[in-house]
Structure 1
Amino acid sequence: MSITVSPCPRRYLDVITAANMKTCEEHRSRQPYAFPENLWEVSFPPEFSNAFLDAKGEPTSESHNLFVAEDAGELAGYILLSWWAREDAPDFHDGCVLDIHVFDGFRGKKVGDALLNKAKLIADTRGWDNLTAQVWAGNTQSETLFRRAGFTDQSKTLRYGPNTQARPIQTVQPKGGTQFPVAKIWAAILITAVVWTLLRR
C-alpha cells in the first residue's frame, strides 16, 4: 500500500460531500442539541464549492485547500483545510482542519496520518502560527490521531444549556439576492467540529 496525498480533482467532489453529509448526520444524531437540523446544507456545500475556486473566484479543476489520499488511484480519504491553505491566498498566519475523513477499507492504514502530515507541511511552509482542529467530547479516536500528529490542547469549550435539539440556522436575503447565514459563527465553529470519528491508526 502506497498512499499519496495531492490536491483534490473535481471528479471526487460528489463522493466527498456525501461522506461529509453522512458524518454530519452521525454527529447530529449523537448530540442533537449541538447541531441544528439544517447545519449541513447551510454550512458545508459552500465550503466544498469554494474549494474549487481560485482567489479571484474563477473555477479550478483541482482544489488547493481540499486534499485527497489515494492508494493506487483509489480514493482513501480527504482533508479540508481553511481557505488560507491555498497557494494563491494572501498571507495569513492561522489555519484549521475543517474536515478529515478516511473511507471504509482504508482505516487502520495510516491514511489519517498522511493527510495530517500534508496539513502540517503546509502550515510549516507558510509559516503559520497555528494549525488547529476541533474534536468533540468523546471522540477519542480523532483526539488520538491529532495528538499522535503533535497537536496539543489549546482551549476547551464548556457548554451550558438544555439537551434539546438546536434550532435551525436562520438565513436572510440581502439586497444582492445571495443567501448567507445570520449565525455565521455556526459555520466557523461547527465546520471544524465535524472530524471523522472512525479514523483509526
Structure 2
Amino acid sequence: MGNDYIQCKGLYTINGTVVYKMAQINQKWDKVLELFFEYPNKSFSVREISKKARIPSSSVHRYLQILKKENLITAENKAIITLYFKFKKTFYIIDKIYNIGLLDFINRELNPSLVIVFGSVRKGEYEKESDIDIFIESSIDKKLNLEDYERKIGHKIQIFVEKDIKKIQPNLFKNVINGIKIEGYLDISLK
C-alpha cells in the first residue's frame, strides 16, 4: 500500500445495500479532503492545511495537485462547487458513517427496516456546522447516545425514528424519500 490514495472504483455492497465507495485508505488524504468538504467557501494555504491536518507540507502539496487535476479545487486552493464535488462530498460522509460504525450501532440498537440519510448531506451542501439527518424506520422507540459517533464524524447527528415512514409529516416525508437509503427497503406503495 505505497500509494497515498486509491481512485474511486465504483460500487460495493454492505448488507445488500449498494453504496458508492470512495476508496481512500490514507488518513492524511482524508484530512486534506475533509477541510475542503467542511469549509467549501474558504481558501487554504499549503502551510495552513499542513498545520490543520498535521501532515508535512510536501504531502499537502502532492494532494493539492491531485485535487486540482480532478477539478475539485482552484489554483487558490478553494473548492470548486460542482455536481461532481457535491457527489464526492455526499459519499465521503456516507463512507464515514459506515467506517465509524454508526450504521452497525443503529442496527444493533433499533433493528431498523429502513435507514435514510437526508437533508444537507444528501445534497452535498453540508458544512462544518451542519448536522447529519438520519431517518430510521423501526418499531423500537429508544433514545440513542450518539456522542461518540458525533465526535468521530465531527457533526451533530439528528435522528428521526418512526414505525412507518408513511406516518411522518408530508414536508419531512418529501425530504426523507429524496434522501439516500443506506439500509433496508423503502416501500411507499399506496395500498
Same fold (TM over 0.5): no
Q: Which has the higher strand share?
A: 1
Q: Which has the higher helix share?
A: 2
Larger Rg: 2
Per the normalisation by structure 1, the TM-score is 0.27
Higher relative contact order (CA 8 A, sep 6+): 1
Per the normalisation by structure 2, the TM-score is 0.28
